[in-house]
Structure 1
Amino acid sequence: MNGKVVVVTGASGALGKVVAEVALAGGARVAGVDHAPAQIAATANRIDIGGVDLTDAIQACKAIDAIASHFGGVNALINIAGGFAFEAIAEGDPKTWQHMYALNVLTALNASRSAIPYLAASGTGRIVNVGAMGALQAGAGMGAYAASKAGVHRLTEALAAEWKGSITVNAVLPSTIDTPANRASMPKADFQKWVTPQELANVILFLASDAASAVTGALLPVNGRV
C-alpha cells in the first residue's frame, strides 16, 4: 500500500476510521469522504472532505475529482458509507426501502462511477465494497437492509465483469461488526463472536493492495466467530 492513494467513504464512522488508520500505517495516502463535517486536519498523507452527500452523483464526482487533483490520482476506492434499518415489512414504511437503497447502493455506485477513470488510469485500480452476510438470506426485520446490501453484491459483480483486467472489484461480507452502536443495540449478545473493525480492515486493505491483483468479483465472508 506504500504510496497508494486510497479513498475511504464513510471515513468518520467506526469502520471507516479504522480502515483509514490501518491504510496510513501501511504507507498509503488517504482521503476520507463523509456526510459529516471534516474533523481531521489535513497532513501530507491525509485529507478529509466533509459535507458530501454521496447519494448525489454531482457531489460524489466533485469530491473524487478534488482528491485526484490533490494527490495526483486515485489507486483504490473503499466504499464504507451506508446505513442500517431494522423494520418489519407489514408495519414498516416503504420509504425505508428507498432510504436503504440510497444509503447503501447509490453511495457506492456514485463514488465508483466517479473514481473509475482515475482507477483505470492508475494501472492498479481497486474497488472494495462492504456488503453483508445478512444479505445472503434476509431475516425478520431485515428486508430493506438485506435487499440494499444484495444490491451492493450485484453492483460488485457487474463492475468486476465490466472492468476485468483493468480494475479489481470485490466486496467483504461481514457479520455483526463490534462497534459501540451495535453493542448498545444488542447488549446481551456475545461480543467476542463478532468481527472487529481491525479484522475487517485488514481484509479490506488486502483486497485493495497489490497482493490481491488476481482477485476480482469476490464476495468474501468475514464473519468473525459467528
Structure 2
Amino acid sequence: MKIIVTGGLGALGRSVVAELATRGHEVAVVDVATPSGETPGAITLGGVDLTDEAAVQAAYATIAERLGGIDGLVNVAGGFLWETVADGSLHSWDRMYRLNLRTAVISSRAAAAHMQAGGAIVNIGAAAAGNAAMGMAPYAASKAGIKAFTESFADELKSRSIRVNAVLPTIIDTPANRADMPDADRSGWVTPAGAAKAIAFLLSADAGTITGASIPLSLPG
C-alpha cells in the first residue's frame, strides 16, 4: 500500500512510519515541521500547514504522482493542552479544533479523492473523548469530534469500498508525556510501537470487515 502519515515526525508518527515500512508499504510523511534529516523508510514533505486545505491538496497531489497513487492515510497530526473551562480561553477551543479535527477532515478529504476501492483511513482519537477529566474539555471535545467524523465519513465512503476507522488510545508513553507527568501511573499508557501495530492492522486487508469503528487502546494494569 501507498500510505500517508500526517505528523509523521513526532513520537507516535515515527513509530507508525517504521511499522508500515517494516510491513513493506510505501510511506509518505506530511508534517508542518521541517525534517532535520531523512525519515527512514519514507519520503517526507515538511513545512505543510495541515490546517490549510489548498496546501494539503497540493501536497497529496504531489505524493500521488510520486508514489503512483494513495491507498491509505493515518491522521496522527494533532495537539494537546490542559486548562480549565473557567480560567481558560475560547482560543484554546478553536486551537484544539484546528489541530485535532480540522487537520483530519482536510487530510481525509484530500486523500480520499485519490483512493480506489480497498483504501483505508485511520484517525487518532483519544480515550479522554469518552471520559473527560478536569482541564481536558477543549482537547476531549475535539477528539470526540474525531469519533463522529469517523463514523459519518465511513458511511459516506462505504459505496466506494473505502474504510474509515479510529483508535482511541489512553496516554501515549512518550518522553514528552513522561516529562509533563512525572508522577503519573503509567501502567495503562500505550507505547507508540503498540499503537502503531493496531493502526497497521486497521489499514490491512485483515481488517477488511471493519469500518466506522473507534477502537480503544490501553494496556491492562
**Which bracket does the TM-score occupy, shorter chain normalised?**
over 0.9
Displacement of 1:42 in angstroms is 7.2
C-alpha distance in structure 2 between counterparts of 1:138 and 1:42, whole Å: 35
Q: Residue in 2 aligned with 1:159?
A: 153
Aligned pairs for 1:1-226 (under 5 A) are: 4-41=1-38, 46-119=42-115, 121=116, 123-165=117-159, 166-225=161-220
SS at 2:3 equivalent: strand
SS at 1:96 equivalent: helix
- Are the aligned partners of 2:170 and 2:188 in contact in 1 as well (CA < 8 Å)? no
- Are the aligned partners of 1:9 and 1:80 in contact in 2 as well (CA < 8 Å)? yes
Q: Deviations over 1:130-162 (max 9, x none)?
A: 000000121100000000001111110110010
Amino acid at match of 1:112: S
C-alpha distance in structure 1 between counterparts of 2:87 and 2:192, whole Å: 33
Displacement of 1:46 in angstroms is 2.0
Deviation beyond 4 Å, 4+ runs, structure 1: none
C-alpha distance in structure 2 between counterparts of 1:62 and 1:47, whole Å: 16
User: Identity of aligned pairs, percent?
Assistant: 46
C-alpha distance in structure 1 between counterparts of 2:36 and 2:4, whole Å: 16
C-alpha distance in structure 1 between counterparts of 2:60 and 2:37, whole Å: 18
Amino acid at match of 1:152: I
C-alpha distance in structure 2 between counterparts of 1:210 and 1:81, whole Å: 24
Unaligned runs of 5+ in 2: none
Amino acid at match of 1:12: L
Q: Normalised by the size of structure 2, how large is the TM-score?
A: 0.96
Q: Deviations over 1:99-152 (max 9, x none)?
A: 000000010000001011212x2x210000000000012110000000000111
C-alpha distance in structure 2 between counterparts of 1:117 and 1:201, whole Å: 25
What is the CA RMSD across the aligned residues, in angstroms? 1.3
Amino acid at match of 2:174: T
SS at 1:61 equivalent: helix
Amino acid at match of 1:25: T
C-alpha distance in structure 2 between counterparts of 1:203 and 1:47, whole Å: 22
Displacement of 1:39 in angstroms is 3.2
Question: In the comparison of the two structures, how many residue pairs are matched?
Answer: 220
SS at 1:163 equivalent: helix
